[in-house]
Amino acid sequence: MPESSGARPEVGDELELEVGDVAHGGVFVARADERVVFVSDAAPGEVVRARITQVKRSFARAVALDVVDRAHEARRAHVWPEADITRDPELRPGGAEFGHLRPDAQRELKRRVVTDALARFGGVTRDVEVASTAGDADGDGTGWRTRVTLHVDEHGTVGPYAARSHRVIPVERLPLAVDAIDALADRHRTARGPGRLEFTAASEGEALVRPVPDRGRATRAGVVRERVGAREFDVDQDGFWQVHRDAAATLVGAVGAAIDPELLDPRAPNLDLYGGVGLLATSFADVGGADVRVETVESARAATEHARRNLAGLPGASAVTARVDRYLEHLGRDSGAAARDAFGRATIVLDPPRSGAGGAVVRSLVELGPAQIVYVACDPVAFARDVGTFRELGYEPGGILAFDLFPSTHHVECVATLRPVR
């Protein structure tokens, strides 16, 4: 075991550290003189030489410089050469924290993170497997991103930011991106800065790039068309859409499978919260037919307008522009006995931002008393905290699924069904 130096670590120190298990955020736990050190670019069980990059009162951060002993059996040359451990940490681009490990090992790490988060923050003992999409089953964790943002510094250099930095790093390729974006970005090695370039590869049409300067007027965002199965969805070029090429279809299928058809009342006031352009609202139709009543709620007006058009073929669907917390407060305040009885038969799907739904939204949902809730989450800790609140208020999780919709990164998507304890 590496010896302790006996001194408090300082920024810039290089230490030999024995790496423990994975932690949320794509880092790994080590210790230096009883202080927790979160190490990036490492793997469990390795002994690494690492440089301290940040020191706080209760923890420090470090980045691995090389593996001294016991290299993890799944370690490989990084899929993004500029992010490899052999490169100076200050010159490594961020956004591919697990690219130095085989995809099967990445999914195992994500399984541990989800399982640990549910136990610690949600009070749920559950071993949740992380599944790949069908298109990634035999892949190497590359070629999946359909949205990429590159930054432009004051010198006109184009590239991603370095990890935990605003330093622009020029790169030869974008291996996590789909081929169309990788090829288009290769033609934009320099640009007028400072600002950013937003790349989009939709299901239909060619890849697009939109310059967004830090000062002055940005190029107006266009509308792109996405196809999911037999359905088409219009979304603004700068609007929200699932990043992985197969994520939209995967989540529509997962949400549809999570909805219990016996609890889905077609006439109840069913809701799709944080609904975007209406993608997950279509799961209701997949389960109960086109006439199932569902209202999608989204705070971005442009997205709501797209949702109305995207859902026009479903007679039971509607879309409103509102903040979810205020919308639910209004329902809870103004609903009479008949409305409350109707909500007791409702199915609610919610796909909140990375920070989670939060206690106020969870409490408002529980007060409505729906028959079932399907929660889609892209952050396991925020998800687990909300699950814990649901449990405290009488809703227990049933099935919990997890999907590796962000290969070579630490991110993972979860889908859970929650039902009231009768």
Pairing of strands 59-69, 35-40: parallel
Q: How many CB atoms lie within 10 A of CB 412?
A: 26
In whole angstroms, how large is the CA radius of gyration of the chain?
A: 23
Q: How far apart are CA 88 and CA 254, in angstroms?
A: 41
274 labeled part of a ligand binding site: yes
Q: Count Cα neighbours of 335 within 13 Å in the Cβ-side half-sphere.
A: 20
Q: Which of 22, 162, 254, 378 is catalytic?
A: 378
Q: How far apart are CA 42 and CA 85, in angstroms?
A: 9
242 labeled part of a ligand binding site: yes
295 labeled part of a ligand binding site: no
Q: Where are the extended beta strands (E) located within 41-94?
A: 47-55, 59-69
Q: How far apart are CA 342 and CA 268, in angstroms?
A: 6
367 labeled part of a ligand binding site: no
Tokens matching residue 193: 């800065």
Is there a catalytic annotation at residue 378? Answer: yes
Q: How far apart are CA 282 and CA 310, in angstroms?
A: 10
Tokens matching residue 382: 């925020």
Which residue numbers are catalytic?
378
Binding-site residue numbers are 242, 274, 298, 351
Binding-site residue numbers for S-adenosyl-L-methionine are 242, 274, 298, 351
